Amino acid sequence: MAEVLGARTGAFGRATYFEITEPVAEHAHPHVHMLFKLGGGDRRVLVEGTTADVTDTQCMLINPWQKHADVGEQPAGPTLMLVLYLDAEWIAARLGVYAVGFDALAGAVTPAMLERARRIAAALSGESVDDETFEEMIGALAADAAPDHLVDRRTGLADYRIRHALRKLREHPHLHIDYRDVARDVGLSRSRFYEQFRSSVGVAPNMFVDGLVLEQAYSLMSDSDRPLDEIASRLGFSAQSSFTRFFRDRVGFPPSTLRRQIERN
């Protein structure tokens, strides 16, 4: 579990400052993902079979749709974390590249970067900072973290059938999708569809949809006052408790905690 100390969304994506104690389950999402430790024990993260540590002098750099999870055994005690989920197009424009990607899981954290991360955390946890200034702070920290490992990820999806499937899956993110129907709609067998999808996108269709559902949940909690049980039902969960488990397992805290923090901001 984790205690959310601050959260904010905007054109940049979202930023969360929290104290985490329990490991999160494997998941993936469409963002450029950066993790910074601001206090407590180090954190070990598994990214597609490779581990790296989030420490006082090292941050994590995770590409869009890379599967990642905390390893089971973590250092004793909680960790204070600043986690950035950056919109891929927004950060690419800020860094002056076509598509942001990293060739390493970890980047060096200098004292100046750590101080910048702490200022962002202070803005998330109560210090008044206007949206434009906050975005500048996020962009500057990302620019500091990225350069040594920045690569061009303009891969493109050559298979038009997978492009069509992606459009359909993004239209209405929903937990329960019959992938046989999706495969049939694009002219593939179910097994061939899974193979082509994983090869093209990097994750299986169900993990891709889980990521879309998670992002839609964030969006609905941030941009509306819909009750959590209504959000759960809209996303295909049979009960709010199932939605809570799904969300908590992937981000480390329940949706109610995030909703309270968003309302506070």
Q: State the CATH number of the domain containing residue 164.
A: 1.10.10.60
Residues 37 and 104 in one domain: yes
Q: Which domain holds residue 192?
A: 160-264
Residues 42 and 59 in one domain: yes
Give the count of beta carbons closer than 10 Å to the beta carbon of residue 225: 9
Residues 79 and 29 in one domain: yes
Using one digit for the tens of pLDDT, what is the confidence trace for 89-117? 898 888 777 767 788 888 899 999 999 99
- From the number of C-beta atoms within 10 Å of its C-beta (0-12, 13-18, 19+), residue 209 rates as buried
- Is residue 11 helix, strand or coil? coil
Percentage of the chain lying above the pLDDT 70 cut: 92
Supply the pLDDT for residue 126.
84
163: confidence class by pLDDT, cuts 50, 70, 90? confident
Residues 171 and 235 in one domain: yes
Residues 20 and 142 in one domain: yes
Record the tokens describing residue 173, joined without a space. Answer: 């993110």
- Is residue 218 helix, strand or coil? helix
Phi and psi, residue 249, nearest 5°: -65, -30
Residues 145 and 205 in one domain: no
Residues 132 and 164 in one domain: no
Q: How many domains does the chain have?
A: 2
pTM of the model: 0.86
Residues 127 and 165 in one domain: no
Task: Name residues whose C-beta falls within 8 Å of residue 52's C-beta, 6 or more positions apart in sequence.
Answer: 44, 45, 58, 60, 105, 106
Residues 137 and 200 in one domain: no
264: confidence class by pLDDT, cuts 50, 70, 90? low
- From the number of C-beta atoms within 10 Å of its C-beta (0-12, 13-18, 19+), residue 119 rates as middle
Whether 81 has a pLDDT exceeding 90, the answer reads: yes
Percentage of the chain lying above the pLDDT 90 cut: 48
- Is residue 138 helix, strand or coil? helix
Residues 90 and 183 in one domain: no
d(CA 47, CA 67): 6
d(CA 49, CA 18): 25
Question: Helices then strands (H, E): number in the chain?
Answer: 10, 11
Residue at which a domain ends, from 118, 152, 186? 152
Residues 170 and 111 in one domain: no
Residues 171 and 140 in one domain: no
CATH number of the domain that residue 106 is part of? 2.60.120.10
Strands (E), the chain: 2-10, 13-20, 32-40, 43-47, 50-54, 58-62, 68-70, 79-86, 100-102, 106-108, 150-152
